[in-house]
């Protein structure tokens, strides 16, 4: 059978209906192709305009696609020049090895590698790389798709921030300024390769860095300019981030300068007095210890205290007091020069250390005292101050700093007790007295805790009737070993230590309770007088304590009289009047004890809400031998009558004294002539007899 030839296209005849359908299909394909081409162009345009690097590779690592950023970054003009090449063919094999390894792992495992930061293969900088597997329609891996973003600016910002954070940490840790400047210079050298940078901390002077340069001012917290950070940069070479970093570095150096100054100031203040600049106790102890350890010469330690310095503060103010202290410090320094140590240890107290024997030290201290006593003017007020000085020597009084200072302090106390304005060398007997005093203070505290105090009462006699008009409560200490102690043996110490306030409360409570006990025994009511110390009088709670004592005893306030000294109320007249009015409002009566010794005037005396004056025993003792005392006593009685105040004399011991008081018009007296202070039981008998004589 003969094979027939295939018909040519021209001979093929397509039915008209089929031809129309075919044409429609061709037209549709053309439209779809145009749409696909347009979408591809849009997609390609978008990918090419994205600044990130986007590419695709086959299983052998050959580029299948890359956007314009990848093409340009690898040094090609168009994408066709890149297609089919591997990274190893474009870059050094060693540089491309890491990329190939990572992409091969993604293609083998199918797991993406996302957000990995890597240095760029070309040029300086960093990229954040992400790779995912490229799959066909069936899901099979046929390559890898990669995308990366240039994070050089971010990494730069992080590096700048980390550098500044390190500098701030160094400042916080107290790194020494020169070390900090060295570290900062190394950081700048690393971050600004090829650029000169330096610190000029000499104020306006220019550094060695030549123009073009940019200066970043270094300022301290007080606003003062301490120099500049100079960097060799053209104006257009510095971006906002770098400028902010360099400004921060300059500010950090300013903080470091402030910190170093603060550390130096703190170290100075730790060993020096802020007001006078003299060494404080800490530095004194160290210097004195070194001096004594050397044992090359005798050392004298003097404890110096200004006399009545409190009056300067109270009258002129603390600012004037501070000025006076600076004057005194300067005068001491001018006398001792470089041959001694002077320290202010607080208030108006100074310690002077001299390398000298006892006699030489005393002579030099005399010169210092004389210099201090020279007149001076403070705030326009001319004044002259003296000082008291206690001295101890390493030749005889101790070999360690604390011992010598303590002994000099004891000697100073002796000067003050003797009236101030003098120099006293320490003696061993002073130490014994100090130990005895310390022991007695502890005993006094124990006595208060264990209620060892008892009251005796001294009757007060009405001169006109001869009967008892009242009693004064007087405290005694029933010491377990020493027996009954009089007030003179413990009241001064109680006042010095402040225990007088607690002791005063004890006496007040006991006096009120004893009066209540007498009343309960059927003894007619009389007035009981209780002394109030200066410290107790100034206590804000005094009125509350008095009210509580009266209430606890159920005692009529009119039966209680509080005695205050004349010198006490004259210290602060307005304050005393205010406090006395508060007490008067409670219903108690008030009297002035030791009247005639406090220099009060008639104009001030009439302001006080008083009921009675008590003439001090010092005016009574020499009557009738001293005409002056008799005149003063008569004047006080007349003053009391003028002010409508009762007058009582204390310390009456002779008939002549009693007769004179009666002749002057004095109404009452108390003293050994009538009765000495007696225990409550004996006084009860006297009061019973007193009431019987009154009824008779």
Query: What is the per-residue pLDDT for 234?
Result: 65
Following DSSP, what letter does each residue of 449-506 receive, concatenated? HTT-EEEEEEEEEETTT-SEEEEEEEEEEEETTTEEE-GGGTHHHHHHHTTHHHHHHH
- Residues 350-373 have a mean pLDDT of 94
| Of 278, 218, 269, nearest in space to 248 by CA | 218
Higher local confidence (pLDDT), 89 or 159:
89
Q: What is the pLDDT of residues 167-219, one digit of tens each?
A: 878 777 777 887 888 888 778 777 777 677 777 776 444 556 666 777 778 88
Q: Which residues contact 385 (CB under 8 A, 6 or more apart)?
A: 306, 307, 308, 309, 312, 324, 328, 372, 373, 376
| Interatomic CA distance for residues 342 and 150, integer angstroms | 69
Average pLDDT, the chain: 86
Residue 273: pLDDT over 70: yes
Residue 692: pLDDT over 70: no
Q: What is the pLDDT of residues 26-48, one digit of tens each?
A: 877 787 777 776 676 666 667 77
Alpha helices in 214-308 (DSSP H): 240-269, 281-294
| Interatomic CA distance for residues 241 and 237, integer angstroms | 12
Weakest mean pLDDT among 4-8, 257-261, 612-616: 4-8
Weakest mean pLDDT among 401-415, 477-491, 679-693: 679-693
Query: What is the per-residue pLDDT for 71?
Result: 85
Query: What is the per-residue pLDDT for 204?
Result: 47
- Residues 461-478 have a mean pLDDT of 93
- Residues 248-269 have a mean pLDDT of 83
Say how many C-beta atoms besides its own lie within 10 A of residue 180's C-beta. Answer: 23
- Residues 442-471 have a mean pLDDT of 94
- Residues 331-359 have a mean pLDDT of 92
Query: What is the per-residue pLDDT for 323?
Result: 94
Residue 685: pLDDT over 70: yes
Strands 113-119 and 214-219, by their bridges, are unpaired
Weakest mean pLDDT among 145-149, 302-306, 527-531: 145-149
| Interatomic CA distance for residues 469 and 688, integer angstroms | 13
- Residues 139-162 have a mean pLDDT of 83
Residue 496: pLDDT over 80: yes
Give this prediction's pTM: 0.55
Query: What is the per-residue pLDDT for 598?
Result: 58
| Interatomic CA distance for residues 617 and 634, integer angstroms | 14
3-state secondary structure of 187: helix
In the chain, pLDDT over 90 holds for what percent of residues? 46
| Interatomic CA distance for residues 668 and 648, integer angstroms | 5
The enclosing H or E element of 670 equals strand 668-670
Q: Which residues contact 407 (CB under 8 A, 6 or more apart)?
A: 301, 390, 392, 397, 398, 426, 430, 431
- Residues 551-558 have a mean pLDDT of 96
| Interatomic CA distance for residues 664 and 630, integer angstroms | 9
Query: What is the per-residue pLDDT for 97?
Result: 60
Higher local confidence (pLDDT), 180 or 99:
180
171 within 8 A of 259, measured Cβ to Cβ: yes
Q: What is the pLDDT of residues 418-441, one digit of tens each?
A: 899 999 999 988 888 888 888 999
Q: What is the pLDDT of residues 623-633, one digit of tens each?
A: 888 888 899 89
Query: What is the per-residue pLDDT for 123?
Result: 64
Rg of the chain (C-alpha set): 51
Residue 570: pLDDT over 60: yes
Residue 72: pLDDT over 60: yes
Query: What is the per-residue pLDDT for 391?
Result: 95
| Of 331, 419, 336, 323, nearest in space to 374 by CA | 331
| Interatomic CA distance for residues 680 and 518, integer angstroms | 9
Please state the three-class secondary structure of 546-606 as a single string: HHHHHHHHCCCHHHEEEEEEHHHHHHCHHHHHHHHHHHHHHCCEEEEEEECCCCCCHHHHC
| Of 120, 123, 107, nearest in space to 148 by CA | 120
- Residues 568-575 have a mean pLDDT of 83
| Of 308, 563, 324, nearest in space to 416 by CA | 308
Residues in the chain: 696
- Residues 522-531 have a mean pLDDT of 94
Query: What is the per-residue pLDDT for 309?
Result: 92
Residue 694: pLDDT over 80: no
In the chain, pLDDT over 70 holds for what percent of residues? 90
End-to-end CA distance of the chain: 188
- Residues 573-585 have a mean pLDDT of 92
Say how many C-beta atoms besides its own lie within 10 A of residue 10's C-beta. Answer: 6
Our measurement of the distance from residue 106's CA atom to the centroid of its chain's CA atoms, rounded to an integer in Å, reads: 64
């Amino acid at each position: 059978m003969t094979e027939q030839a295939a018909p040519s296209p021209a001979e093929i005849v397509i039915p008209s209906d089929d031809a129309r359908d075919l044409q429609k299909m061709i037209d549709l394909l053309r439209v779809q192709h145009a749409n696909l081409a347009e979408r591809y162009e849009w997609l390609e345009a978008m990918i090419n305009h994205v600044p990130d690097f986007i590419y695709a590779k086959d299983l052998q690592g050959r580029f299948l696609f890359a956007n314009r950023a990848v093409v340009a970054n690898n040094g090609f003009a168009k994408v066709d020049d890149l297609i089919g090449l591997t990274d190893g063919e474009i870059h050094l094999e060693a540089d491309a090895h890491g990329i190939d390894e990572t992409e091969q792992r993604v293609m083998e495992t199918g797991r993406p590698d996302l957000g990995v930061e890597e240095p760029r293969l070309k040029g300086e900088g960093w990229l954040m790389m992400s790779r995912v597997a490229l799959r066909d329609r069936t899901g099979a891996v046929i390559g890898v798709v990669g995308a990366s973003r240039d994070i050089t600016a971010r990494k730069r910002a992080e590096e700048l921030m980390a550098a500044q954070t390190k500098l701030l940490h160094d400042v916080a840790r107290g790194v020494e300024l020169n070390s900090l400047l060295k570290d900062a210079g190394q950081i700048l050298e690393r971050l600004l390769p090829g650029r000169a940078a330096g610190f000029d901390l000499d104020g306006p002077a220019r550094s060695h860095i030549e123009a073009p340069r940019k200066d970043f001012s270094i300022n301290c917290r007080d606003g003062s300019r301490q120099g500049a950070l100079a960097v060799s940069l053209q104006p257009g070479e510095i971006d906002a981030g770098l400028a902010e970093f360099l400004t921060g570095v300059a500010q950090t150096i300013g903080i470091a300068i402030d910190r170093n100054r603060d550390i130096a100031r703190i170290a100075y203040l730790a060993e020096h007095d802020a007001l006078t600049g003299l060494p404080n106790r800490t530095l004194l102890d160290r210097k004195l210890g070194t001096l004594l350890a050397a044992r090359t010469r005798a050392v004298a330690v003097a404890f110096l205290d200004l006399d009545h310095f409190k009056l300067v503060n109270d009258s002129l103010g603390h600012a004037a007091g501070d000025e006076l202290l600076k004057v005194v410090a300067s005068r001491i320094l001018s006398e001792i020069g470089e041959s001694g140590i002077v320290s202010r240890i607080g208030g108006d107290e100074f310690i002077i250390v001299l390398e000298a024997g006892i006699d030489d030290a005393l002579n030099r201290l005399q010169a210092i005292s004389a210099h201090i006593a020279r007149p001076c003017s403070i705030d326009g007020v001319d004044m002259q101050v003296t000082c008291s000085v206690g001295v101890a020597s390493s030749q005889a009084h101790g070999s360690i700093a604390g011992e010598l200072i303590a002994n000099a302090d004891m000697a100073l106390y002796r000067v003050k007790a003797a009236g101030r304005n003098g120099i006293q060398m320490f003696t061993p007997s002073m130490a014994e007295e100090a130990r005895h005093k310390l022991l007695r203070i502890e005993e006094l505290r124990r006595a208060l805790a264990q209620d060892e105090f008892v009251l005796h009462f001294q009757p007060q006699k009405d001169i006109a009737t001869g009967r008892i008009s009242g009693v004064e409560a007087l405290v005694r200490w029933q010491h377990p070993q020493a027996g009954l102690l009089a007030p003179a043996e413990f009241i001064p110490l109680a006042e010095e230590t402040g225990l007088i306030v607690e002791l005063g409360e004890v006496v007040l409570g006991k006096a009120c309770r004893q009066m209540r006990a007498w009343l309960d025994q059927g003894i007619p009511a009389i007035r009981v007088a209780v002394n109030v110390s200066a410290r107790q009088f100034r206590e804000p709670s005094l009125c509350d304590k008095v009210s509580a004592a009266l209430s606890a005893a159920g005692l009529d306030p009119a039966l209680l009289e509080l005695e205050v000294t004349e010198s006490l109320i004259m210290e602060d007249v307005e304050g005393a009047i205010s406090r006395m009015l508060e007490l008067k409002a409670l219903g108690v009566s008030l009297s002035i004890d030791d009247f005639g010794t406090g220099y009060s005037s008639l104009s001030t005396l009439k302001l006080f809400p008083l009921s009675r004056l008590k003439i001090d025993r010092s005016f009574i003792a020499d009557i009738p031998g001293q005409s002056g005392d008799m005149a003063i006593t008569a004047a006080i009685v007349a003053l009391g009558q003028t002010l409508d105040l009762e007058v009582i004399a204390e310390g009456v011991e002779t008939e002549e004294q009693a007769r004179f008081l009666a002749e002057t018009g004095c109404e009452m007296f108390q003293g050994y002539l009538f009765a000495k202070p007696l225990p409550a039981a004996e006084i009860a008998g006297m009061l019973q007899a007193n009431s019987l004589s009154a009824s008779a």
